[in-house]
Structure formats: structure tokens, C-alpha cells
């Protein structure tokens, strides 16, 4: 296992992030997922984040990312969600029609440290978001 380091510490920080489309709208296809990933990769370097894996379904994305101890994850998430929402709605007119003035992403998200998080916890989060409606 390769550990990361800086001047005074050694670390290995991986997170699993799940972002859900507002109202669980089934709008993510391959081209939209690819564009969302490009936006993520563009913004990540400003926050000491490295994308490790990317996956999507029609109404959510899964991201495995590596961070540094000084990473401000909440600031990164706000920047990413805001920029990606604006760009996706601008570049894909069908999304703008389906969501109109709504944000692309649900306000909530799921962020888990990787390690001993059972897949059942992740699935439960995804199911609960559908019941809440965004």
C-alpha cells in the first residue's frame, strides 16, 4: 500500500461520494456523465483531490476520490455542485427543460470514508433519497 505524505505527515484518505439528481430525475446518460467527470477533474486540483473511480446510474453518480488532510471537502462540493449544475443545464437543453429553475443536484449528499462501510449502507442511502424526493 502506497501512502501519501507531506512535510509532517503520512496519510491515505479515500472517500466514496454519492451525488443524487434533484427529485431523482433520471437524466444522467453517458455523455452527461462524461461531462460531469470532466468538470470534476477540472476543479479537483484546486482542492488537493484526485479522482480514482467514477460511475453513474440514471439518477446519481458514485465517485471514489483521494484527498489530503488539508482538503476542504465541503468547499469543494459546493464549488463542484454549483459549476456542474450551471454547465450541464447550459450545455444540455433537455436537462434545463426537465429541471427548469431547479438545481441539478439534490441539496444532500453521501460522503463515506472507504474502509469498513458495507455496501448495504450505501444502498440504503440511495433508496432513502428516492423517498425524500430530492
Q: Output the pLDDT for position 133.
A: 57
**pLDDT, position 99:** 67
H helical segments located in 1-134: 30-44, 73-91, 93-99, 119-132
* Domain architecture of the chain: domains with CATH: 9-132 (3.30.70.1290)
- 24-54: pLDDT as tens digits: 989 999 999 999 999 999 999 999 999 999 9
Q: How confident is the model at residue 93 (pLDDT cuts 50, 70, 90)?
A: confident
Task: Report DSSP state, residue 2.
Answer: P
Q: In whole angstroms, give the CA distance from residue 65 to residue 52.
A: 5
Q: According to the model, what pLDDT value does residue 103 have?
A: 80
- Which residues are bridge partners to 50 per DSSP? 66
Name the residue with higher pLDDT: 124 or 45: 45
Cell matching residue 49: 483531490
Q: What is the per-residue pLDDT for 44?
A: 97
pLDDT digits (tens, 9 = 90+) for 57-72: 999 999 999 999 999 9
Q: Given this model, what pLDDT does residue 8 score? A: 79
State residue 92 phi and psi, 5-degree precision. -125, 90
Highest-confidence segment of 1-5, 45-49, 128-132: 45-49
Secondary structure of 58-69 as H, E, C letters: CCEEEEEEEECC
Entry pTM: 0.82
* Mean pLDDT to the nearest integer, 60-89: 95
Write down the pLDDT at residue 131. 63
Amino acid at each position: 500500500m502506497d501512502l501519501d505524505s507531506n512535510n509532517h505527515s503520512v496519510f491515505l484518505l479515500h472517500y466514496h461520494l454519492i451525488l443524487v439528481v434533484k427529485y431523482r430525475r433520471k437524466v444522467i446518460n453517458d455523455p452527461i456523465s462524461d461531462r460531469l467527470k470532466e468538470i470534476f477533474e477540472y476543479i479537483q486540483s484546486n482542492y488537493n483531490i484526485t479522482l480514482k473511480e467514477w460511475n453513474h446510474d440514471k439518477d446519481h453518480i458514485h465517485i471514489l476520490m483521494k484527498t489530503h488532510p488539508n482538503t476542504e471537502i465541503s468547499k469543494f462540493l459546493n464549488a463542484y455542485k454549483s459549476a456542474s449544475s450551471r454547465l450541464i443545464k447550459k450545455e444540455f437543453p433537455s436537462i434545463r427543460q426537465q429541471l427548469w429553475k431547479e438545481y441539478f443536484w439534490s441539496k444532500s449528499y453521501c460522503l463515506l470514508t472507504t474502509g469498513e462501510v458495507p455496501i448495504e449502507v450505501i444502498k440504503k442511502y440511495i433508496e432513502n433519497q428516492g423517498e425524500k424526493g430530492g
